[in-house]
């Protein structure tokens, strides 16, 4: 197949759960609901495609698979799956690291507050043990380093707007310069990052208000939910992204049970896209399913929009080719990128790659057989989606995971 040996850039994924998992804990991560199941297209794909990398026959039973997974140990399994994906560059959202929520032992305990050097000095007075900023830096660096070791690829950081803001607000809510401090924290984080990301779809939906000025007051909630505040934050991210050359990723479409899917239709971003068109910002619409045709329309209309199918690909198994076909009806070929959105289980990072390769190969084989495209053009299209389109919009770190821009 055309796609077998192509190196990929996975431009949006998350960390790995560093723990050996029993079936309930494994299945919890097999779905976006409170718990998933092997009894699904995704479960079939794990058994079909991941089992052989663990030296099992294809279609091993769930229990055989999980026994062998524990036998090898999560570290070995993770290395095999991440390396098997053929990904040379991973852009990792560090804002939300997978964790077990039941107190089970986990080498990678999570720490979700982002570094904010602007306030680091002040709270350092309380001693390192209570300095969440320093601890975040140390943990994040360790997590990314381990991801790099296990995967053998370059690892770079995507910074989540909401968690930087939430951290600064938690520390400095009553400061008269609160909003400037949020901006400073984002600028500091951006020095070592390749993109911003927003999960506004989860908070007030994609029809957030387009506002230029922050709200008069900020509540003491730890989870941002005020639409005015979030709207301002997204606008800030868009402005900084345009200034610094960092794309702004939006969660859209399919996501976890914290989402209202009808508030995540990317068409709700139309006014935002009109506002940012020509500003220099690149907007990346993640996942999109089941609104992937709507997303492809936005990529068709707006030069600064890019899209992917993200976590839809690993979840839908052998249907990946059909969904790619629907997406390519209208999306310009420059606009589609590859990502796995893998979270917690390296099976997801691997299946994203395998199913994308198989689905796109099958689709292009059909197009070639139909004489709708030449082999050379098909190869160029594969390369573009695999990494070329991403490389054109994301800055390249000078050193893996530690790019510096000013």
Q: How far apart are CA 15 and CA 112, in angstroms?
A: 12
Whether the CB-CB separation of 14 and 95 falls below 8 Å is answered with no
Which of 173, 260, 392, 396 is in the footprint of its own copies by CB under 8 A?
260
Q: Is residue 161 close enough to count as binding its own copies by CB under 8 A? A: no
Q: Is residue 280 close enough to count as binding its own copies by CB under 8 A? A: no
Which range touches its own copies (CB under 8 A), out of 161-169, 170-178, 180-188, 311-319?
311-319
Whether the CB-CB separation of 53 and 120 falls below 8 Å is answered with no
Q: Is residue 101 close enough to count as binding its own copies by CB under 8 A? A: no
Whether the CB-CB separation of 249 and 286 falls below 8 Å is answered with yes
Q: How far apart are CA 353 and CA 158, in angstroms?
A: 20
Q: How far apart are CA 144 and CA 149, in angstroms?
A: 9
Q: Which is nearer to its own copies, 136 or 302 (CB)?
A: 302
Which of 302, 338, 350, 394 is in the footprint of its own copies by CB under 8 A?
302
Whether the CB-CB separation of 234 and 12 falls below 8 Å is answered with no
Which range touches its own copies (CB under 8 A), out of 3-11, 16-24, 28-36, 106-114?
28-36
Which range touches its own copies (CB under 8 A), out of 65-73, 125-133, 255-263, 394-402?
255-263
In the window 39-58, what residues touch its own copies (CB under 8 A)?
39-41, 44-45, 48, 58
Q: At closest approach, how far in Å is the CB of 118 from its own copies?
A: 38
User: 211-250 mask for its own copies (x: CB under 8 A)?
Assistant: ----------------------------------------
**Which pairs count as long-range contacts for 362-365, CB under 8 Å and 24+ apart, including other chains?**
362/1, 362/321, 363/321, 363/324, 363/325, 363/328, 364/2, 364/3, 365/1, 365/2
Q: Is residue 31 close enough to count as binding its own copies by CB under 8 A? A: yes
40: which 2 tokens? Answer: 């699904």
Which of 121, 130, 149, 333 is in the footprint of its own copies by CB under 8 A?
333
């Amino acid at each position: 197949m055309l796609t077998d040996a192509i190196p990929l850039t996975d431009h949006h994924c998350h960390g790995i759960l560093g723990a050996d998992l029993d079936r309930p804990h494994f299945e919890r991560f097999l779905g976006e609901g409170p718990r998933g199941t092997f009894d699904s297209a995704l479960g079939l794909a794990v058994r079909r495609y991941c089992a052989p990398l663990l030296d099992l026959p294809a279609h091993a039973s769930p229990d055989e698979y999980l026994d062998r997974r524990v036998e090898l140990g999560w570290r070995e399994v993770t290395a095999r799956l991440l390396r098997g994906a053929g990904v040379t560059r991973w852009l990792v959202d560090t804002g939300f690291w997978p964790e077990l929520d039941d107190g089970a032992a986990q080498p990678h305990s999570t720490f979700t507050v982002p570094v904010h050097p602007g306030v680091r000095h002040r709270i350092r007075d309380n001693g390192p043990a209570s300095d969440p900023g320093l601890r975040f830096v140390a943990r994040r660096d360790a997590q990314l380093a381990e991801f790099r070791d296990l995967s053998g690829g370059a690892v770079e950081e995507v910074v989540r707007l909401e968690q930087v803001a939430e951290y600064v607000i938690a520390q400095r809510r009553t400061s008269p310069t609160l909003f400037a401090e949020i901006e400073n924290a984002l600028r500091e984080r951006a020095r070592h990052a390749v993109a911003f990301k927003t999960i506004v779809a989860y908070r007030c939906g994609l029809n957030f208000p387009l506002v230029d000025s922050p709200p008069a007051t900020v509540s003491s909630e730890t989870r941002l939910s005020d639409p005015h505040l979030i709207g301002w934050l997204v606008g800030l991210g868009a402005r900084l992204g345009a200034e610094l050359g960092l794309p702004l990723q939006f969660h859209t479409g399919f996501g976890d049970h914290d989402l209202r899917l009808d508030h995540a239709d990317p068409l709700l971003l139309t006014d935002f896209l009109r506002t940012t068109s020509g500003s220099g910002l690149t907007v990346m619409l993640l996942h999109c399913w089941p609104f992937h045709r709507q997303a492809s329309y936005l990529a068709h209309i707006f030069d600064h929009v890019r899209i992917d199918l993200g976590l839809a690909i690993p979840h839908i198994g052998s249907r990946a080719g059909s969904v790619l076909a629907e997406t390519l009806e209208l999306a310009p070929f420059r606009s589609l990128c590859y990502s796995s959105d893998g979270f917690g289980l390296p099976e997801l990072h691997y299946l994203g790659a395998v199913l994308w390769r198989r689905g796109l190969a099958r689709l292009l084989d059909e197009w070639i057989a139909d004489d709708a495209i030449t082999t050379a053009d098909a190869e160029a299209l594969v390369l573009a989606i695999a990494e070329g389109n991403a490389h054109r919009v994301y800055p390249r770190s000078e050193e893996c995971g530690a790019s510096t821009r000013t």
